[in-house]
Amino acid sequence: MPKKSLYNHFQRFNDEYYIAYNARSGAVALMTPQNYELYAQMMDKLSADTNAKFNDEESELLKQLEYGKFVCGSDFDEQRALKFEHHLGKYGQSMVGLVIAPTMNCNMACEYCYEENKSGRMSEQMRDALMEFTKGFLGSLRQLDVTWYGGEPLLAMDIIEDLTQRFFDLCREQRIGYNGSIVTNGYLMTPDVTDRLEKLWVRNGQITLDGPARLHNKKRPLKNGKDSFATIIENLVYAVPKINISIRVNIDQSFSVDTIRELLAELRQADLHDKVAISFGHLEASTQVCANIAESCYDTLAFSKTEADFYRILLSEGFRVERIPAPASVACMAQIVNSFVVDPNGYLYRCWNYVGDLAKSMGNIKDSLDFQNKNFVRLFDVNPFEEAACRECNLLPLCMGGCPARRADRNLKGEEMCDSWKYNLEPMLEIIAAYKQLEAQRKASEQE
Amino acid sequence: MIYLIDPANLKGKKCKKYECDIVCKLCITLCPLDIIQPLYSVPPEEG
């Protein structure tokens, strides 16, 4: 007999519908109030009698609920299944994820940067070692996932080209799938560079714009003091048909609704409003290097409210809404055995925030991997199922205990670790549902 | 029920971050779910 899932969320949407969301499947659905009532009655019936019989209408609804994992078999242990998926995600051998910083040099001087200002490029010898390191995974390897990172990776475009060609050769020879992404400040992503990146299968790019031009230019000036906003926008206009671009806006207390509207107006003016995804990053003092910004940062509760307000503006201004509460088997790459951040000197890290900080390295690509290294274990071993607050949380499938580095570095526990979903799920589901309805209407009218 | 986010599509779209279950705060924005990504194909032969 069926039982209701531990990970269900139902909320009123409007006069016509309820929103039904399940954190384990990621399903978001609309239900009529009649169906919601019917669901509640069925669950009541089941708690009174586990062998309760259902009529045709109830059975049909049950089928639809099962599809979204809103109900499961009474003998199905959802927590155990979640734990199993978590282990699969952690120990999977078919994929290797490399976040490669070909240089630590950067052309910007952002006030909140968590990286110490380091220079250095990956030498040819180190690139050879990186290829040998990658070949070490052959056998079980089916997918190679490379993200170019830095510093500013486009300052080392020659290295990106060289390594990608070598990865291509390896992948062709071994019949391994390949995917590339880049995190860049976008200033050097000229049309020529975009064309080259496209050929290198860089399909996704993340670029940061910290507000409208007047603010971005203050927060993210070039090292020579010049402005960067206009050039980045110009580059984006060329890049968006070729590379999936996501714009990250790092939010601190200096951002207001008006600030966001100003940025959106500038993006609309460049005709980018329906061509880029925008996400809001929660700025936090994650390392000692950026401790100076701590006072201007939001705590998670305040950030979650601001985040929902900003997404509401995206919706009302006709921008894409692409933050969705999708389940993940692990919190991040730190918990995946075969995912590594690699710096220009071949040092390996578990977290993007640590790149260049040798005290947090788990070894070097030239040496054998040591899975007992304290800097590997420290984040890899973070286990949300060991903490009652996480284990019992009905949003656990979404965050899987949250950022392991945040937990380990700042000694956070329980609700201190919660993601903004914990506080803004309801308004965000409303925004997502409204956006999906608009999208469906738009598609329907295009087909007419 | 009207599924606005269909759980089958969450897997079926082969979004790399979800297929591989890597979702970290930095990289999640690289992978908006609605972008269908024909990922992990083997690079074609040169020329």
The model's pTM: 0.89
**b/e map of A130-147 (b: 16 or more CB within 10 Å)?**
bbebbeebeeebebbbbb
Q: Do A27 and B3 touch (CB under 8 A)?
A: yes
Min Cα distance B36 → chain A (Å) is: 10
Q: A42-90: per-residue pLDDT in tens?
A: 999 988 888 889 999 999 999 999 989 999 999 999 999 999 888 888 8
Q: Is A47 exposed, middle or buried (0-12, 13-18, 19+ CB in 10 A)?
A: exposed
Q: B31-41: per-residue pLDDT in tens?
A: 333 333 334 56
8 Å CB contact between A385 and A400 = no
Q: Do B30 and A181 touch (CB under 8 A)?
A: yes
> Out of A270-274, A414-418, B8-12, which region has the weakest mean confidence (pLDDT)?
B8-12
Q: A193-244: per-residue pLDDT in tens?
A: 999 999 998 988 999 998 999 999 998 889 898 999 999 999 999 999 999 8
Give me the amino acid identity at A21. Y
Indicate the SS3 state at residue A374.
Answer: helix
Q: Do A277 and B29 touch (CB under 8 A)?
A: yes
Min Cα distance A275 → chain B (Å) is: 11
CA dist A292 and A47 (Å) reads: 55
CA dist A112 and A115 (Å) reads: 9
8 Å CB contact between A171 and B41 = no
Q: Does the beta carbon of A107 lie under 8 angstroms from any beta carbon of chain B?
A: no
End-to-end CA distance of chain A: 44
8 Å CB contact between A357 and A343 = no
pLDDT, position A54: 92
Interface of A with B in 304-333 (CB under 8 A): 320, 322, 324, 326-333
Cα within 13 Å of Cα(B20), Cβ side: 34
- In terms of phi and psi (left: phi > 0; alpha: psi -120 to 50; beta: otherwise), the region of B16 is alpha
Residue holding tokens 């309805």? A437
3-state secondary structure A370-385: CCCCHHHHHHHCCCHH
**Chain B contacts of A328, Cβ < 8 Å?**
18, 21-23
Q: Does the beta carbon of A231 lie under 8 angstroms from any beta carbon of chain B?
A: no
